[in-house]
Amino acid sequence: MSKPIRFDGRVAIVTGAGVGLGRSHALSLARRGARVVVNDPGVTTEGAAGQTGVADAVVAEIEAMGGEAMAHRADVSSDTDVADMVAQTMAQWGRIDIVINNAGILRDKTFAKMDMADFRKVVDVHLIGSANVTHACWPIMREQKFGRVVLTSSASGIFGNFGQSNYGAAKAAMVGLMNVLAQEGARDDIRVNVLAPTAATRMTENLLPQEALELLAPDTISPGVMVLVSDDAPSGVIMGAGAGCYTQTRIYETTGVTLSDAENTPEGVAAAWAEVTDPDGQEELPNAFAQTAKFARNAAQLRGLKLDWGQQ
């Protein structure tokens, strides 16, 4: 059996931690020794004013179990609010080891009917909010030579979901942000992963049947998150999670086809479409440069040129 995962001495910020998944993550961290900043302004699922005391209630739960926690009501899309939260955390505990970006809102409509203000607001909270909190903590983690970051995505972003263009766009962006930060953070032992959860929360209670909601409790997901922020965490992983099920989502590129100058026409691409999309031999690419090198090598080979640049 693997060694117990503990967070003694670690300090964690969990956004949107007053209810649902965030609350479950915060409690799980605290049970395993972490000191936790419970961030939640107490808004509704649409982002309107709601119950402002939800963060304090979670802090009280943590303290009742003998843990340490503090509440902060920062709006994660506000640079000023986030800076204050990070400053208070450093004043209280002197370090920040873990950031779980969980805060989010929903404003669902079909794209044709959606107000662009609602599109921007959802992107602001999910994407800009995650970037704000992570960016504010990044220099601290670099100085410590240690950091663990989770960005919360969704199947709606990875696979799509009708009526959620704003939410899906923001959640898909988490994968791109992770791919870059996992590379940039590697030198300083900052590991960055994406969680794509399916859980029974305020956001899903009207979308799923009761039987499914009972199976998809938030506490069936948090164990996986504890692995993503542990000392031995992976980096650059998209973890799907729900009802005790865990998966890894990967992005592959097909081998494709390289066309000669004469063939490189719209008609030529259309004629080669079956080869373009053939999954045989598809592979994961470690970074964007690997694709550039692949294309250049293939083109050089077609033309009988020698090109050593970009060899893996």
Domain 11-249 is in which class? alpha beta
Please name every residue paired with 147 in a beta bridge, in sequence order, or none if there are none. Answer: 190
Token pair for residue 183? 């590379």
C-alpha distances in Å from residue 6, one per residue of 11, 63, 70, 82, 188: 12, 18, 20, 27, 21
Nearest residue to 282 (alpha-carbon basis) of 238, 305, 250 = 250
Token representation of residue 49: 């004013």
What pTM, to 2 d.p., does this model score? 0.93
3-class SS of residue 98: strand
For the chain (312 residues), the mean pLDDT of every run of 10, in chain order, is 91 97 97 98 72 93 98 97 98 98 95 97 97 98 98 95 95 98 98 90 58 80 98 98 94 97 97 98 94 91 82 48
Burial of residue 296 (number of CB atoms within 10 Å: 0-12, 13-18, 19+): middle
Q: Name the residue among 46, 41, 45, 36 with its Cα closest to residue 10.
A: 36
Among the listed residues 86, 167, 221, 242, the single catalytic one is 167
Task: Please say whether the beta carbons of 59 and 38 come within 8 A.
Answer: yes
Q: Is 246 a catalytic residue?
A: no
- Residue 31's Cβ-side half-sphere holds a number of Cα atoms within 13 Å equal to 13
Tokens of 182: 């996992």
- Is the separation of the CB atoms in 168 and 159 below 8 Å? no
Predicted local distance difference test score (pLDDT) of residue 47:
64
In this prediction, residue 312 carries a pLDDT of 44
Would you state the structure tokens that stand for residue 26, as one six-digit string? Answer: 């915060």
CB atoms within 10 A of CB 49: 9
* Cα R_g (the chain), whole angstroms: 22
| DSSP element (H, E) containing 211 | helix 210-215
Instruction: Please report, for the chain, the start and end positions of each structural domain, with discontinuous segments joined by +.
Output: 11-249, 252-312
Q: Yes or no: say if 85 and 39 are a contact pair by the CB < 8 Å rule.
A: yes
Which residues contact residue 90 at a Cβ distance below 8 angstroms, ignoring those fewer than 6 apart? 96, 140
Instruction: Count the residues in the chain.
Output: 312
SS (H, E, C) 123-158: HHHHHHHHHHHHHHHHHHHHHHCCEEEEEECCHHHH
